[in-house]
Amino acid sequence: MTNLFLTNYTEITFLDKVKDNLRRCKSFCFSVSFIKKAGLVLLIKDIDAAVERGAKGRIITSTYQNFTDIESLKTFIELQNKYKNFECHLDYESFRGAQYSVIGYHSKGYLFEFDSHYEVIVGSSNITRYALLKNIEWDVVVSEDIPSVYRHAMNEFEDKWMKTYSLNQELINTYANKLNFAIDRWDMDYDLSSGKVKPNYMQKKALKELNRYRAVGTNRALVVAAAGSGKTYLAAFDALNFNPKRLLFVVHEGSILKKAMETFRDVFGNGSSYGLFTGEHKDMDADFVFATNITMCKSLELFARDAFDYIIIDECHHATAETYKQIISYFEPEFLLGLTATPERMDNEDVFELFDKNVPYELRLRDAIMNDLVVPFKYYGIRDQLVDYGLTKSEERKLVAQLAGEEHVEFISSKIEEHRVEGKLKALAFCRNVTHARMMCEAMSSMYKTAYLTGKNTIGERVRAYNDLQSDSAELEILFTVDILNEGVDIPGVNMVLFLRPTESSTIFIKQLGRFLRKY
């Protein structure tokens, strides 16, 4: 028999060895303190196959530090119901020391019996995705013809088996309830994903509530959170916690999709494949598909209704549009998540109804500022007597002429100078329409370095303008824009925002305000 030292970078890894042993053993006994579904999926097929062919399987795991997840325990319940030769026990505060304090269950041992020998694997590896694939872990394999170490290990296993609880649904429900209200909970295995990406204050609270809603059977929910507070990262963290086989992210604008895809890659790493599904790209076979609503709506027949088990609708105040409704009604995911900063619509269409009025978490702008998630700001409402804002829509040309008139332009310039900060001016100006943006750009070009963007500009042109505006070395001082910056794009280096267009929509106002609230 050969003894081995295993890591995640030896020729034979710990995961390789355990999977190979499961394929050949007569019986296996695991004593593992922490088990996560994202790690269990790497072994569950081999565990199922071993038990199906007749191997006896027993697993002890624990609730120590609230780390083991409910999904893993449910998987073991399913195996118990399916096979008589598989059992699972749970250490639910089973061991107590002096003054009745709970002693932590922290073992990582894997015992195997074969036809001709025995093997004990002991070390540092729990059944989590990072332990099995990425972490620095040390494990030792002891192989014996005559069981010596194996017998001592089995005696310890049997002792702990007798002192822990047989896993059942009632026990899972008790543990789930404890998790829902736990203050200390190691339930975010994902915050190690990149070494720099960790949930912020808002995300931690929202993630806990999303877990709680799912625990009681909710299959769709809407999270309302202020612009700049990290909604896309929240979705990525929750998706990692959910561990979908396939994921769909839907939004209306291509540049938002690309940024979202980068965010998910930050959180998930390169273990999954990512693809765009837009007018230009058709990566429909990726694990994670990022699609525009129009392209996906036109292509629903290419996908099975259950093609995605986790779907995210970003900027979902748009979800009352027919394209979104068709997407939502067509697909049958295990969980549907909506994200928006502004769920209330001026046309009285009900965004909440699309998500069965389930709102696990709300973080409005004032709360985001108070919790230091976005930058505070000074807002000046300036009395403007040079423009007749009561003009009707049919009189739009007259309104624009007044807005871009010489006297009004000088008035705006005086207010810019009155309130500008030190250093280069980096102002973002929202205009009424394309004509207004062009006229303002031309009228103010004698006083500032200006440019304007519309929907006709390419993504590359837009990005260059955003970068020039934020750069201290570039000349651009004021960027005039129409609609394209209402959402999904952040220009955190901006130090002034000009609301040059009248609007009765609080949604549009808050969206435009949010373009400069992300920390820089």
Per-residue pLDDT reduced to its tens digit, 13-40: 999 999 999 999 999 999 999 999 989 9
pLDDT score, position 502: 77
Question: Using 50, 70 and 90 to split pLDDT, how confident is the model at 247?
Answer: very high
CATH of 189-370, one of 3.40.50.300, 3.30.70.20, 3.20.20.70, 3.30.200.20: 3.40.50.300
> In angstroms, rounded to a whole number, what is the distance separating the alpha carbons of residues 103 and 248?
42
Which pLDDT score is estimated for 99? 52
In the predicted model, what is the mean pLDDT of residues 1-21? 93
Better-scored residue on pLDDT, 344 or 28: 28
With beta carbons less than 8 A apart as the criterion, state whether 335 and 214 touch: yes
Measured distance CA(287)–CA(271) in Å, rounded:
10
pLDDT: which is higher, 517 or 145: 145
Neighbours of 270 (CB within 10 A): 7
pLDDT digits (tens, 9 = 90+) for 360-376: 888 777 777 777 777 88
User: Does the pLDDT of residue 140 top 90, yes or no?
Assistant: yes
Widest CA span of the chain, in angstroms?
98
Spatial CA neighbour of 248 closest among 315, 296, 299: 296
Just give the CATH number of 393-516.
3.40.50.300
- Residue 163 has which token pair? 């002192």
Does residue 460 contact residue 513 with C-beta atoms inside 8 Å?
no
Residue 215 pLDDT level (bands cut at 50, 70, 90): confident
259 or 89: which leads in pLDDT: 89
Q: What average pLDDT score do residues 404-431 get? A: 92
Q: In this model, does residue 314 exceed pLDDT 70?
A: yes
Pick 506 or 421 by higher pLDDT.
421
Q: Looking at residues 329-342, what average pLDDT do you find? A: 90
| Residues 395-423, mean pLDDT to the nearest whole number | 90
**Residue 386 in this model has a pLDDT that exceeds 70:** yes
Mean pLDDT, residues 502-512 taken together: 73
> Could you tell me if 139 and 14 are in contact, meaning their C-beta atoms sit under 8 angstroms apart?
yes
Tokens of 152: 């001592």
Q: What is the pLDDT of residue 489?
A: 60
Q: What percent of the chain has pLDDT over 90?
A: 50
Q: What does the pLDDT read at residue 349?
A: 66
pLDDT of residue 331: 95
Percent of the chain exceeding pLDDT 70 equals: 90
CA 294 to CA 278: how far, in whole Å?
8
Pick from 55-69, 158-172, 314-328: least confident: 314-328
Distance of alpha carbon 297 from its chain centroid, rounded?
23
The pLDDT of 164-183, averaged and rounded, is 81
Res. 505: pLDDT tops 80: no
- Is 4-180's fold the same as 393-516's? no
Domains of the chain: which residue ranges? 4-180, 189-370, 393-516
Q: How far apart are CA 440 and CA 406, in angstroms?
A: 10
Mean pLDDT rounded to a whole number for the chain: 86
Using alpha carbons, list the distances in angstroms from residue 384 to 26, 392, 407, 412.
84, 18, 12, 9
> Whole-angstrom Cα distance, residue 310 to residue 199?
20
Query: pLDDT digits over 296-309, tens only?
Result: 999 999 999 999 99
How far apart are alpha carbons 400 and 505 in whole angstroms?
A: 19
**What tokens were used for 103?**
């002693």
Q: For residue 35, give the nearest of 79, 74, 78 by alpha carbon.
A: 74
Contact 502, 433 (CB under 8 A): no
Q: How confident is the model at residue 8 (pLDDT cuts 50, 70, 90)?
A: very high
In DSSP notation, 264-332 reads HHHHHGGGS-EEEESSS-B-TTSSEEEEEHHHHHHTGGGS-TTS-SEEEETTGGGTTSHHHHHHHHH--
Q: If pLDDT is split at 50, 70 and 90, which confidence band does 458 have? A: confident
- Give the per-residue pLDDT at 186: 47
**Do residues 465 and 476 make contact, with C-beta atoms less than 8 angstroms apart?**
yes
d(CA 278, CA 293): 9
Q: Which CATH class is domain 4-180?
A: alpha beta
Write down the pLDDT at residue 180.
60
pLDDT at 354: 84
pLDDT score for 191: 37
What would the pLDDT profile of 103-134 be if each residue is shown by its tens digit?
889 999 999 999 999 999 999 999 999 899 98
Q: What value does the mean pLDDT take over residues 240-251?
A: 91
DSSP class per residue in 63-110:
-GGG-S-HHHHHHHHHHHHH-TTEEEEEESS--B-GGGPBPP---EEE
Give the closest residue to 58 by CA, choosing from 162, 149, 176: 162
